[in-house]
């Protein structure tokens, strides 16, 4: 994978897909956490990175109202999208018909403890690779590697990919400072699985489900049918690999805690409630 710096800067936009009909925790984007709906926490943390305009893409009027009440941008999308990637693509086509944005940073609406360094690092990874798609990983311990709920990434790390330090301002949210970012290395994703791969003594990597899409690659992706490996593992990023797309990968220190269950929500409320 070619990891030379691009000759022209990218024009990014952050899209946060959010839907009410989550199977395990319906209505979670509006779940109250420390006096704010969950989607507002995600919105504020994405905006604190100060790297791109931020939009929430949703099929629900109540989510649109909550985002706008918090001073954010929201776009209404269809209700029948099979994945967040499809919703993200519709959203960017609606908000940017003139195609000024050429990089779409696809975050997740159930990450209320998102560190603003996550989108900042995702942008830096996209800027320093020629991959159609970029994503992040963090080291998984033995317990995480064994859990099928945690997706593992098999990564080929490239020598000589240390990148220069990138300035990101310290703004926004209490308890979160955004230091200057230096990506230690960029690799290439070989596979993703719910199984503890690779086998043996090689490190296991926890895939952080955020993506930096080149716009043309996302347009191509949403037109493809689900692939055999995608259907087997129930992981849509495998569709991109089976279609021959290159996925650049950078490592971060820790994965942001997601909210999938009532137990996750209770734990998040406790952590964010303050002393």
Residues 27/37, Cβ–Cβ less than 8 Å: no
pLDDT at 182: 59
pLDDT at 178: 42
Residues 109/39, Cβ–Cβ less than 8 Å: yes
pLDDT tens figures, 4-41: 434 457 899 999 999 887 767 888 999 999 999 999 99
What SS3 state is found at 273?
A: coil
What SS3 state is found at 262?
A: helix
CA distance 248 to 27: 33
Beta bridge partners of 251: 137
Collect the ranges in the chain with pLDDT lower than 70: 1-8, 23, 159-184, 274-275
What SS3 state is found at 143?
A: helix
Cα 36 vs. chain centroid, distance in angstroms?
Answer: 21
pLDDT at 91: 97
pLDDT tens figures, 157-175: 975 443 433 333 333 333 3
pLDDT at 179: 43
Nearest CA to 162 out of 182, 180, 181, 133 is that of: 182
Instruction: Tokens for 203, please give them.
Output: 């490190």
- Which pTM value belongs to this model? 0.88
In CATH, which superfamily holds the domain spanning 12-272? Spore Coat Polysaccharide Biosynthesis Protein SpsA; Chain A (3.90.550.10)
């Amino acid at each position: 994978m070619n990891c030379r710096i691009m000759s022209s800067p990218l024009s990014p936009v952050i899209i946060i897909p959010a839907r009410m009909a989550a199977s395990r925790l319906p209505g979670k984007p509006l779940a109250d956490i420390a006096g704010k709906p969950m989607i507002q926490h995600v919105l504020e943390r994405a905006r604190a990175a100060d790297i791109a305009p931020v939009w929430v893409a949703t099929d629900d009027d109540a989510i649109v109202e909550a985002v706008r009440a918090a001073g954010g941008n929201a776009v209404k999308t269809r209700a029948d999208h099979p994945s967040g990637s499809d919703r993200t693509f519709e959203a960017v086509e609606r908000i940017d018909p003139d195609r000024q944005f050429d990089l779409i940073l696809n975050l997740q609406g159930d990450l209320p403890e998102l560190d603003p360094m996550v989108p900042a690092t995702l942008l830096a990874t996209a800027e320093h690779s020629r991959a159609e798609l970029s994503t992040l990983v963090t080291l998984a311990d033995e317990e995480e590697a064994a859990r099928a709920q945690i997706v593992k990434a098999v990564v080929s790390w490239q020598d000589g990919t240390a990148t220069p330090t990138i300035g990101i301002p310290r703004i926004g949210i209490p308890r979160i400072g955004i230091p200057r970012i230096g990506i230690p290395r960029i690799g290439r994703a070989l596979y993703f699985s719910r199984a503890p791969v690779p086998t043996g003594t090689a490190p296991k990597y926890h895939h952080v489900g955020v993506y930096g899409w080149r716009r043309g690659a996302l347009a191509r992706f949403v037109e493809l049918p689900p692939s055999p490996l995608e259907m087997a593992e129930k992981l849509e990023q495998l569709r991109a690999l089976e279609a021959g797309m290159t996925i650049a990968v950078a490592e971060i220190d820790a994965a942001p805690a997601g909210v999938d269950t009532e137990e996750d929500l209770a734990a998040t409320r406790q952590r964010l409630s303050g002393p």
